[in-house]
Chains A and B, each alone.
Chain A
Amino acid sequence: MSVIAAEPALIAAKPRSAQLRRFARRNPTIVAGGTILAIIAALAIAAPLFAGDAITMQPALRLRPPSEANWFGTDHLGRDVFARTVYGAQVSLFVGISVAAMSITGGLVIGLLSGYFRKVDAVVMRLMDGLMAIPAILLAIALVALTRASVTAVIVAITIPEIPRVVRLVRAVVLSVREAPYVEAAIAGGTPTWKILLRHILPNTIAPLIVQATYICASAILIEAALSFLGAGTPPEIPTWGNMIAQSRLFLSRAPWTIFCPGIALALVVLAVNLLGDGLRDRLDPRLARRM
């Protein structure tokens, strides 16, 4: 073997698997949370391929315990709980992600504008205070009860009270970054406002927003369950873990699988999202990262 051939071997990077293992050891929460979520999301997407029929009611088969034919048993209307749990992942994740996406986007835009332009700030903050002062769940119940139950209504109802909190977060970042010398320099240099917002201020908001997004997602999935419990959630025809649990609550002792199967799925996803958020925050927050 020639010496020349040996050199590239020294410069070559560490094998991928070793890199991943090191990442996993250092960030167990991100890995745990992320993996669980990825698996559930994959199952949700693949639902039509393997889950079965989640809608057809067969009263003759109601409340059957888990068996060969129905892996998770049947509910009080004879519907297959396994199919509904898997399809439920679709809707629950859709609700969680939509609420997170919409509230982050809305909050970001409003927060940026409000934090940067003083005149807008006063008005916007009072409006946001007003919105935050209304208890979120009452607002959601009222919105859904007064229009009609649909996934869209539930998403909008949960998003609206979340926006003010995101606005506060973004605004706090904007206020602190705005005073930074490099931003002052940019303004003095004549950089257009939109460029300043986009290039200098926005990047500082990404990290906390990502973390916040995970919390909002977890919270939205739980609020959907609470709304279904109070009768103001998604239409019962559409399976979501929340309304599966809510509709089966009379059968806690008689047919516990109707509650535990969606309940465990719900807890698992919320736990995963929260772990992911915690891990990301530990990683992305520079002050904490130093300590790890």
Chain B
Amino acid sequence: MTTRRSILTGGLAAAALTSAPSIITTQAQPSRARTLRAVMHADLRVLDPIWTTANITAYHGAMIYDTLFGLDANFTPQPQMVSKWGLSDDKLTYTFELRNGLTFSDGQAVTAADCVASIRRWAARSGSGQSMMARVKDTPVVDDKTFRIVLSEPYGLVIDSLSTISTSLCYMMRKKDAETDPNQQVRETIGSGPFLYNREETRPGNRHVYDRNPNYVPRAEPPSGMAGGKVVKLDRVTFENIADEQTALSALQAGEIDFYEVPPQDLIDELKKDKNLTVEVLNKTGHIAFMRLNHLYPPFNNPDARRAMLHLARQDDVMGAIFGAQSKSWQACGSFFGCGTPMTNDENTDWFKKGQDIARAKELFQKSGYDGRPVVVLQATDHYLANPAGLFAAQWLRSVGVNVDLAAMDWGALVSRRAVKKPPAEGGWNIFSTTVTGITFSDPIAFTGQAANGEKSWFGWPADALQEKLRDKWATAPTLEARKEIAKELQNNGWNYIPHVILGQFFRNSAWRKNVTGVLGMPEVVPFWNMEKAAAI
């Protein structure tokens, strides 16, 4: 008896068989033993690390591209693609020479012309790059392996900028790719890095596949951060997109994936008890969670209202909600540069030492002439920080009599809305929260949030002439010690004009199966060279 059921079954089966030709082609698959399956903190969507500043794309970049310089584990720049370099006596001309054996995955050798074009494209987007390019007169190509950067005035951060670990990183692409408009996506994935991007086996939204690049010539030194020899000890690495945290965690525990970059953080104590897993913090500079204030509209266009927020925010609340009150994964921090970084200092932190002071905050709000209008707080319900941060911002503000419009939305809507310069009631905003790695937060040039040139700055658009002068002074300071001194001035001023309020500093643990070794810890990027996988347990 033919029923609808049998018609449907037959039709579906036929459709299934004819719709996936690429899966049917037989290909030699690398053994499971030499394949590492990793779940990262986000799904890789954009492949051009200059077009986007998203961290996951920087990870992708580290796989298939290479950099001129790389930061080692002590955050000291080391030559990577460069074999030797020099600075002229007048401190205006840098000369770089590339090392031998560097080739792109299409077979072409890496030339100085490729590097110059890549630097220019990168500089159009990166904060560090822009700061550097403002002082660059020319970037002449001397020969196939040598090029120069000629400055109009001495600038101490050239090497630091080229080796920056804050997005966008200065990855080297082919000249013809690097000549693409920075506002347009580069479609090719041809790089000179330790891995090759396997387009055929990649399924966007599901899995990205990287194969070992057999033609990559690593440096001789041992690996250290983004510096040293990038020796790949696996045949294949895949980035798996498992959207559901619970499912990804179960998969890790069952051995179906090998590496989980950010497992649910309040389960860390339990994960540490699992004998099959190694649990460790890879980014030792941590992350800073902060609440950004909109300087364009009331109430936070008034400095007293902003000062009130300094006294109102309670770092224990937000951090405790995400990690648990007793957790060692977080600490309260009052420095404009995060804690535990070279620029950390103690200036102007009375508000921090006293802790939450509701009475003072109330007083300051009244002094600012707060008129009762609702404060628009953007809350991204799918973001691990923005979600509780939004809830707490509302709770704190309400406790001092401020009206709150808590706008719940997804992260995509938040990043769109925070770019809107209209009044909060017309589609703008007053407060949003997000995180940045410790190392980026501590860099007045690399962190776009440190700029204070009004409408040209990062969302919030603070305007403070002194901040800009001090940033310039910091960039052109001759030594690290000098920069530390200027950092004190920057912090003093920073907590006066208050572009944002700190919600805490935290360290996220990653987890991987015990048979995976050689994991390099680094902020902003997870290097997959040097990782090895022993026989399955």
Contact = CB atoms under 8 A, between A and B. Distances in A.
- A adjacent to B, CB under 8 Å: yes
Interface of A: 55-57, 59-60, 62, 76-78, 145-146, 148-150, 231-232, 234-237, 249-250, 252, 254
Contact of B381 (A60, A235, A250): A235
B395 A249 contact: no
Nearest to A249: B246
A76 B406 contact: no
B298 to A, nearest CB: 22
B381 A59 contact: no
Given A235-B381, A235-B406, A59 B325 contact: yes
B394 interface: yes
A149 B321 contact: no
Contacts of A59: 316-317, 320-321, 325
Contacts of A252: 246
Given A77-B391, A237-B391, A57 B317 contact: yes
B408 A149 contact: yes
A286 to B, nearest CB: 29
Interface in B279-337: 316-317, 320-321, 324-325
Given A148-B407, A149-B409, A76 B266 contact: yes
Contacts of A249: 246
Nearest to A236: B381
A193 B287 CA distance: 70
A77 B325 CA distance: 11
A56 B409 CA distance: 21
A234 B321 CA distance: 20
Interface residues of B, number: 28
A249 B247 CA distance: 11
B316 A148 contact: no
B410 interface: yes
Given A148-B409, A252-B246, A77 B381 contact: no
Contacts of B410: 145, 231-232
A155 to B, nearest CB: 15
Contacts of B395: 55-57
A60 B317 CA distance: 8
Contacts of B321: 57, 59, 62, 76-78
Contact of A148 (B245, B392, B413): B413
Q: Which of A59, A77, A237, A250 has the most CB of B within 10 A?
A: A59
B409 A250 contact: no
26 contacts: A55-B395, A56-B395, A57-B317, A57-B388, A57-B392, A59-B317, A59-B320, A59-B321, A60-B320, A62-B324, A62-B325, A148-B408, A148-B413, A231-B381, A232-B410, A235-B381, A235-B406, A235-B408, A236-B391, A236-B408, A237-B391, A249-B246, A250-B245, A250-B264, A250-B267, A252-B246
B440 interface: no
Q: Which of A78, A149, A234 has the most CB of B within 10 A?
A: A149
A237 B316 contact: no
B379 interface: yes
Contacts of B382: 231
A232 B408 CA distance: 10
B107 interface: no
Label chain B's interface by main secondary structure.
helix
Given A235-B408, A237-B406, A60 B325 contact: yes
A250 B266 CA distance: 9
Contacts of B324: 62
Contact of A237 (B325, B394, B413): B394
Contacts of A234: 408
A63 to B, nearest CB: 8
B379 A235 contact: yes
Given A57-B321, A59-B317, A145-B410, 14 more contacts: A57-B391, A57-B392, A59-B321, A62-B324, A77-B321, A77-B391, A145-B413, A231-B382, A235-B381, A236-B387, A236-B391, A249-B246, A250-B246, A254-B270
Nearest to B319: A59
Contacts of A146: 413
B379 to A, nearest CB: 7
A59 B324 CA distance: 7
Contacts of B391: 57, 77, 236-237
A237 B405 CA distance: 12
B412 interface: yes
B241 to A, nearest CB: 16
Contact of B388 (A55, A56, A77, A145): A77
Contacts of A57: 317, 321, 388, 391-392, 395
Contacts of B320: 59-60, 62
B338 to A, nearest CB: 22
A236 B410 CA distance: 12
A9 B154 CA distance: 114
Nearest to A56: B395
Q: Which of A56, A78, A237 has the most CB of B within 10 A?
A: A237
A80 to B, nearest CB: 15
A206 B391 CA distance: 44
A201 to B, nearest CB: 33
Nearest to B320: A59
A236 B380 CA distance: 10
B352 to A, nearest CB: 19
B408 A150 contact: yes
